Amino acid sequence: MTTDPALPTQGAAVTITFDATGTALEGYTGDVYAHTGVTIEGVGRWEHVIESWGNNTTQPKLTKIGTDLYELEITPSIIEYYGVDAGEVVTELCFVFRSASSPYKQTSDVFINVYESGLAIAITSPTTQPYFVDASSNFNLKIDGVDATSTVIKIDGSTVHTETVSPNSFTYSVATAASGTHKIIVEATDGSGTVSDNFVYVSRTTATVSALPAGLKDGINYIDDNTVTLVLHAPYKSSVHVFGSFNDWAPETMNRTAADVNDPELRYWITLNGLTPGQEYIFQYIIDEELKIADPYTDKISEPWNDKYIDNETYPNLIAYPETKTDGIASIFQTAQTPYSWQITNFTPSKKEDLVVYELLVRDFAAKANYQTLIDTVGYFKKLGINVIELMPINEFEGNSSWGYNPSFYFAPDKAYGTKNKLKEFIDVCHQNGIAIFIDMVLNHSYGQSPFVQMYWDDVNDQPSAQNPWYNQTSPNTTYSWGYDFDHESVYTKALIDSINSYWLSEYKVDGFRFDFTKGFTNTSGDGWAYDQSRINILTRMYDEIISRNPNAYVIFEHLSDNSEEKVLANHGILLWGNMNYNYRQAAKGYTDNADLSWGYYGNRSWNNPNLVSYMESHDEERMMYDLYNDGRATSYYNTTEKTTALRRVELAATFFFTIPGPKMIWQFGELGYDISIDDPGRVDPKPIKWDYYDDAERFRLFQVFTALIKLKKEQDVFENGTVNMSVAGSAKRINISGTDMDVTIIGNFDVSGKI
């Protein structure tokens, strides 16, 4: 990347020249666009971004000027081009260059310095740092300046050159040291003022081959309050350095466990001594002198794009991202942390026959979308009577606003919802009130910010490389795929998955998991619907590992495949989602087509155990009230599209839902008749939060009906052990349940006429 002029200023035009060589866009022949914004002093990066990602109508298109060479004119000035507000100071231009359409070929973030008018100086080549060089060799340092009368070069504090002949543009040959990290400072003066730029180079040293000390695991190992050992599993990598706030961002060579880089068990490690107890340290690994990643096992990340939008109430005293030291996501460690003091250490969830699960997306549950709000709302959950809260994904995902199915870091709770101890407090308070916590876990795929993906990447084909220990190069599922597909046959993927599940069970005391799209846990080609013994083996192995760590844990699959396979999984002890949304909506609206409710009972699937978690609504399905408003049947005297009647229809559906034996799940605010479409304004976009519905008498009646039915289900043995007979296909629906203490008959008229 070069600019003309070499040192752009915010009040003038600048021409950007982008060389795609070595990026994902190398060899790409289509149009290239810029996702671009600016860094504002005192605010942060990616301000005044020009339109939305992927909008080819409004985002700038580059001009191709040669093979893999492109140009972008920013004119008449940076201020005007980006619409910078008066008084704001631009310090950087921010770019991601991308292809015209999805799946996008794109660069990583690129930042170009912007200078104040008048005296300026910059090291313009080499363009990457830290810059790795052979020991006892030479490299050229290119310096560009404006209005300088004298320029001085210092290396490690000693002056090595003073330029007065052409202080605004010259090249200096640096004789590299035998080893270590070295800092170059260039200072320019115009006689009345001084400005400077700095540069770091590293003289290559050979990594020490040393066995991994006993008892260490991949990731961050806390040895004592002053000592940490970092371990990175990185086969096929020639070198790994670590740098961070503990060494003033001076890269250190890590030891490696084998001389042969092709050893699939190769690990790089280093012990850091002399740390300050309780201090947070930010760090990254540098792989093969080029790729910077956070530790994939970190329990907290620091990121330049999203942290600045997290308020202090949600996450007090969040450590600032070191923007002048590095780029990309970094990891954090902290010795001598104050452990959370659990009030409940041995919570046992309700038995599966009594489970009533409340699926919840923190983002859309309250205006202040954080764990403290959930803590403050536990009384509501208890009043409703549910005994499980199932949190949609809460580990770090891309961005701050998401459903969470774009995971990036599996061991780190997303900071957008609060601190890890606040999450623990929420779980603890729920346990104190008899409520279990299940978390939604996405182990079918990851997205591009995951270090596991980034470490082994094929730039040419824009996919994981063949060497990646954890991922398939492409998904075997020809119909359904997201992100980058885990290779579930890999021993390394199995070990990673086991460590993830074990971590959340032990560290956060979660009571179970809902696993997203387990249909994808296979390397068998196809759409995933057919019976697949290899997938069964993968999934039952994972389940057995979870149960070996916590025999009381629940495991729920979103599997939705052929019943013959689901039956095998259910008989193994696994719970499975049972999507009855469309059938219940059809029935509630007064239709008979696809309104049969019988598949919501595990016995009608020939399962031996009540392991079907059926639901009328979920995060993924249309809301029943919205569908009633827009497609409900009506007569001259009875109209299901009218609010009061629609709410009564939901009551009717709920009566034929909660009374069917087996675990049940409801989606947040379904108990209040939430009536805004899943697609308003967009499927995964934030939805209006309607706590005012609780104060609506008609909606509160629905809440009371849900509460009564849940209480009935949990307390009466007949809904657990009774013999069930169902006639639920037509407009007149009936359920008969015979028990030892009582018999139950549920009759409902789902037609829109007065009698049936």
Domain count, the chain: 3
List, for residues 557-588, the tens digit of each pLDDT value: 999 999 999 999 999 999 999 999 999 999 99
Residue 461, domain CATH: 3.20.20.80
| Nearest Cα residue to 543 out of 559, 533, 530, 556 | 556
List, for residues 193-252, the tens digit of each pLDDT value: 999 999 999 999 999 999 999 999 999 999 999 999 999 999 999 999 999 999 999 999
Residue 328 lies inside a defined structural domain of this protein: yes
What's this model's pTM, rounded to 2 decimal places? 0.93
Tell me the pLDDT of the chain averaged across its residues: 97
| Residue 745 burial by Cβ neighbours in a 10 Å radius (0-12, 13-18, 19+) | exposed
List, for residues 159-198, the tens digit of each pLDDT value: 999 999 999 999 999 999 999 999 999 999 999 999 999 9
* 326 vs 304: CA distance, rounded Å: 10
Do 685 and 548 share a structural domain? yes
Do 362 and 319 share a structural domain? no
Do 399 and 307 share a structural domain? no
Q: What is the structure's pLDDT at 598?
A: 99
Residue 531 lies inside a defined structural domain of this protein: yes
Percent of the chain predicted with pLDDT > 70: 100
Do 360 and 317 share a structural domain? no
Residue 740 lies inside a defined structural domain of this protein: no
Buried b / exposed e over 410-420, threshold 16 CB at 10 Å, is bbbbbbbbbbb
Residue 440 lies inside a defined structural domain of this protein: yes
DSSP string, 308-327: GGS-TTTSTTPPPP-TTT--
Residue 46, domain CATH: 2.60.40
List, for residues 351-378, the tens digit of each pLDDT value: 999 999 999 999 999 999 999 999 999 9
Mean pLDDT of 590-616: 98
Do 563 and 464 share a structural domain? yes
Mean pLDDT of 399-418: 97
Where does a domain end: 67, 89, 116? 116
Do 96 and 32 share a structural domain? yes
Residue 746 lies inside a defined structural domain of this protein: no
List, for residues 618-643, the tens digit of each pLDDT value: 999 999 999 999 999 999 999 999 99
Phi-psi region of 306 (alpha: psi -120 to 50; beta: other; left: phi over 0): alpha
Please check the confidence at residue 687 and state whether its pLDDT lies above 80.
yes
Please check the confidence at residue 755 and state whether its pLDDT lies above 80.
no
Buried b / exposed e over 715-735, threshold 16 CB at 10 Å, is ebebbbebebebebeebebeb
* CB-based contact 115:8 (threshold 8 Å): yes
Residue 291, domain CATH: 2.60.40.10
Do 228 and 307 share a structural domain? yes
Domain span at residue 360 reads 352-720
Please check the confidence at residue 423 and state whether its pLDDT lies above 70.
yes
Q: What is the structure's pLDDT at 197?
A: 96
Where does a domain end: 65, 82, 116? 116
Stretch among 17-21, 525-529, 547-551 having the lowest mean pLDDT: 525-529
Phi-psi region of 546 (alpha: psi -120 to 50; beta: other; left: phi over 0): alpha
Where does a domain end: 272, 301, 334? 334
Do 697 and 665 share a structural domain? yes
Do 499 and 583 share a structural domain? yes
Residue 417: phi, psi to the nearest 5? -100, -5
Written as one letter, the residue type at 590 is G
What angle is formed at CA 362 by the lines to CA 360 and CA 363, rounded to 5 degrees?
125
Do 380 and 316 share a structural domain? no
Residue 708 lies inside a defined structural domain of this protein: yes
List, for residues 699-728, the tens digit of each pLDDT value: 999 999 999 999 999 999 999 999 999 999
How sure is the predictor about 45, in pLDDT bands with cuts at 50, 70 and 90? Answer: confident
How sure is the predictor about 756, in pLDDT bands with cuts at 50, 70 and 90? Answer: low
Do 676 and 567 share a structural domain? yes
* 88 vs 78: CA distance, rounded Å: 12
How sure is the predictor about 548, in pLDDT bands with cuts at 50, 70 and 90? Answer: very high
Residue 744 lies inside a defined structural domain of this protein: no
Do 396 and 308 share a structural domain? no
- Output the 3-class SS for 135-158: CCCEEEEEEEEECCCEEEEEECCE
